[in-house]
Every structure is written in structure tokens, then in C-alpha cells.
Amino acid sequence: MRPQPSPLARSRAGKLPPRALALTVRAALVAVGTAAALLIVAALAAPHARAESSGAYRLVVHPSNGAREVDRSFVAQAFLKKITHWPNGDTIEPVDLDQRSPVRRRWSDEVLNRSVKAVKSYWQQMIFSGRALPPPEVTNDQQVIDFVLHRAGGIGYVSADANLRGARTLSLRN
């Protein structure tokens, strides 16, 4: 089978009417314009996407929480509900991001020293034995911030570039 000549080649050979050629050129220009618009949108969204996809995170708490720095092991135990109170007596109320979040994956690996799948298995055992329920899961950084801002003992983690809206950050020490 012989390849078909392009519309431009057919036009030069006199086989494509001028109106068809104009429509073909117009369609090509629209395609190029659409591609350029998509590239601009992608470039504008890139800084947020990079922070989210890298999994970089910040630990956030209610503004009234007096701590500035906490041990990584304390935070891990708080998220696994092995510790239930802050040193000042407030009940610790952790919140998790959705299991598919790159920030959640990195958080679980670095702070809990477990994969998200292993954490899910841990909570299934805790629920089955009637010992505890997992922290609530939310879908985005702003929901984590809302949760923490409405609970004195709230603690969560958000992507590194999240708008904290008054929530405080804590440093983790090993």
C-alpha cells in the first residue's frame, strides 16, 4: 500500500481545493494554539505539583500548642495512637492525608517507618481487636489545616508549600 500524500502536497499538485487547504491550515493552527495553552497551564501548575509529587511535608499543630520541636518517635506513637495525650494534658488528635497522597507515602516511610500498606494493616488489626480507630483521612492539605485549627490537640502533616492559615509547624528531631 502506497502512503497518501499530505494535504499540502496534494494542493501543490492541484488536487486539493483552496477551501479544503484553508481548513487544513486552520486546524493545524488551532492544534498548535491548544498545545501552547496546555504548556502554559502546566508551567503555572508545576510549582505546586512538584511539592506534592516530591512528598515533602511539614508537621502542623493547633496555634495554642506550645511545643516547638518533638521527637520523631513521639509523633509516630501519636499517629499510631500508642500515646494519646500531649505533655500539657490535651488529647492528641491526629489526621492523615488520603492513602494515595505522595506526602502520605513519604510521611509513613520517614516518620512511622512503615509503608502506607503496613499502616493500613496495623489499623485493621486494631479495629478488629476493638482497641482503637485510625485517625480520620482527608483528601487535601486545606482539610488537614481545617482539622488542626479546630482542635487544640490536633496534629497533621501537609505538603511543604501548603498555606498554613495560622496553624503552627513543629520540627521533628530524631
- What digits encode the pLDDT tens for the residues 158-170? 999 999 999 999 9
Low-confidence ranges of the chain (pLDDT < 50): 28-29, 31-32, 34-53
Angle at 109 between CA 152 and CA 75, to 5 degrees: 25
pLDDT at 7: 59
b (16+ CB within 10 A) / e for 14-52: eebeeeeeeebeeeeeeeeeeeeeeeeeeeeeeeeeebb
135, 163, 167 from 58: Cα distances, Å:
18, 11, 11
68 with 46, same domain: the answer is: no
Find, among 47, 46, 156, 55, the residue nearest to 102 by Cα. Answer: 55
pTM of the entire predicted model: 0.70
2 assigned to some structural domain: no
Residue 142 belongs to domain with CATH number? 3.40.190.10
41 with 111, same domain: the answer is: no
pLDDT at 25: 53
- What digits encode the pLDDT tens for the residues 130-151? 999 999 999 999 999 999 999 9
Antiparallel, parallel or unpaired: β 154-159 and 93-94: parallel
Question: What's the CA gap between 28 and 13, in Å, rounded?
Answer: 20
62 with 128, same domain: the answer is: yes
